[in-house]
Amino acid sequence: MVEPLGPGDPAEISGYMLRGKLGEGGMGSVYLSHTRGGQPVALKVIRREFAQDSEFLRRFAREVQAAYRVQGAYTAAVLDSSIDGQQPWLASTYVPGPSLADAVLEYGPLPLQTVLLLTAGVAEALQSIHSVDVVHRDLKPSNVLLAADGPRVIDFGIARSAEATALTGADVRLGTPAYMSPEQAEGKPATSALDIFTLGLIAYFASTGGHAFGEGDGHALLYRIVARQPDLSACPEPLHPLIARCLAKEPRERPALCEIIDECHRIAAAKGMTLTRGEGWWRPVTTARDSAGAAGSLPSVRPSYRPAAPGSPQAYEPNALDPRLRFAQQAAYTPSAPQPSTAHLGRYHGTAAVSAGSEERDGSERTDTALPDGSRHRLTGFLRRLVGGRYRRVGVAAAAALVLLMIATGLLVELGVLKD
């Protein structure tokens, strides 16, 4: 979701005009911008305090260069970067689509086939990242975007720079505690196996909407990640063995990425499914309209009136608030019930219902000439028959006289001269 720029946000970075804010994290803020050719990009601006650390800048420059080499179907490519000036930044391909965290929050847990497609896609993304000796180190549901043609892993390869800088201190680890591996939490040497541990947590989250180590704040979850075994009872049974292997405490006991992809295909085949991705691959089909044409984007509220092609009558889809639907219902309705009271008239016509006695007390004269519902229905049918008949002029004159008569009758009833 793109938010407007705030008072503290810059309007431009190194020639990139900022159009809105995509998010904010421990490393900095992410903005939506465009290249000079109009290509949308996600511009990540590093916090100023990191930019003042020479060791961070050295490592950041090295790892951004490595990130340039990551080329995969399921990664957002780094397109441009700079370590000059007061704030380093890097620009990557903008992915139109919600994060996994937002999608699960909106729709709930994803079905088994979608989880398998997601897991295999993220595993393939990690293959591309690890192939150039880059470890993500901060993989989490908000760093997995759901594009129309598959998942995209973002924000890879720059966490190590911040973790090594003096800003973090000797006893602090950069990242999201709830999605750290045990070795990450304990400060042990980090290898690509830590991303596999987090992939297991992501697969569990996608299938349940929860965490494999229970609920609580990040530090409570981090303690359980190190000291306890995961509880996988809430996720689909076919996923248990795969997720359990990914969440092994010892890095060497976790499966290789190619094994994870093969296992996803094996699980799908056992259930009679194939892991082929089409449009709307992740979006749950909840209505007939969705199944007719689900797109890989978040749903938007549809207007009551559909835009029509130029020169054609405007088509519309009536709803309960559509005045044309109300008129059609009234025209087709033959009343048999007594006319509603003055109080009902006030509610139906959006005016305050005032009794004759109260009008006399405040000395005001009522000017509301709205007809009772029953009279209006009879008048509507009568006018339609007259106007559509052979004697149109006579019908119009008679209708006008009838309207005046009904108005006068209504006024007399309201003033208490006549009774209902």
Whole-angstrom CA distances from 46 to 30, 36, 99, 335 are 9, 22, 21, 70
Rounded to whole angstroms, the Cα distance separating 378 from 32 reads: 59
Sign for the pseudo-dihedral over CA of 280, 285, 287, 292: positive
HEC secondary structure over 200-247? HHHHHHHHHCCCCCCCCCHHHHHHHHHHCCCCCCCCCHHHHHHHHHHC
Query: For this structure, is 138 an active site residue?
Result: yes
DSSP state letters, 145-172: EEETTEEEE-S-S-HHHHHHSTTT-TT-
Burial class (CB in 10 A: 0-12, 13-18, 19+), 24: middle
Helix axes 193-208 and 100-107, enclosed angle (nearest 10):
20
**Is the Cβ–Cβ distance between 325 and 318 less than 8 Å?**
yes
Rounded to whole angstroms, the Cα distance separating 10 from 409 reads: 68
Residue 46: closest CA among 32, 35, 33, 57: 57
**First vs last Cα of the chain: how many Å apart?**
58
For the chain, helix (H) and strand (E) counts, in that order, are 16, 9
Active-site residue identified among 80, 84, 138, 195: 138
- In three-state secondary structure terms, 265 is helix
Residue 280: closest CA among 123, 110, 143: 110
What is the pairing mode between strands 78-82 and 144-147?
A: unpaired
- In three-state secondary structure terms, 284 is coil
Sign for the pseudo-dihedral over CA of 282, 73, 255, 218: negative
Rounded to whole angstroms, the Cα distance separating 204 from 297 reads: 23
Rounded to whole angstroms, the Cα distance separating 159 from 174 reads: 7
Paired with 32 in beta bridges are 20, 42
Rounded to whole angstroms, the Cα distance separating 39 from 93 reads: 8
Q: Report, as residue numbers or ranges, the catalytic residues.
A: 138
